[in-house]
Amino acid sequence: CYGVIGRAFPGIEDDEPLDQYKKIVTDLSNGVDDRREIMTFNHPNLIHRACLPACMHTHHFNLLGDDLYLESYQRSSDYALGQPFNHFQV
């Protein structure tokens, strides 16, 4: 659902790929409040391979007490069709 960048973000040199989705869900489920809970679907070295860059490309998660906050960044939007569905996909 989240593609290679979301589920297997390339590591540095010999590092294992990072499953961004799994890391964020695990951290938030364990009550970890970290300003670095960011998921991105853009990789500067791979974006030229994409047919079309992701519209909703970066998501920032925060916990404040028992409340979860989400801030999303979007490069473009088909307002009538895309926008309502883009927010639910996260």
Tell me which residues are annotated as active site. 55
What phi, psi does 89 have (nearest 5°)? -70, -25
- Of 20, 56, 55, 23, whose CA–CA distance to 39 is shortest? 20
* Amino acid, single-letter form, for residue 28: L
Tokens of 39: 């998921």
d(CA 80, CA 21) in angstroms, rounded, equals: 28
Residue count (the chain): 90
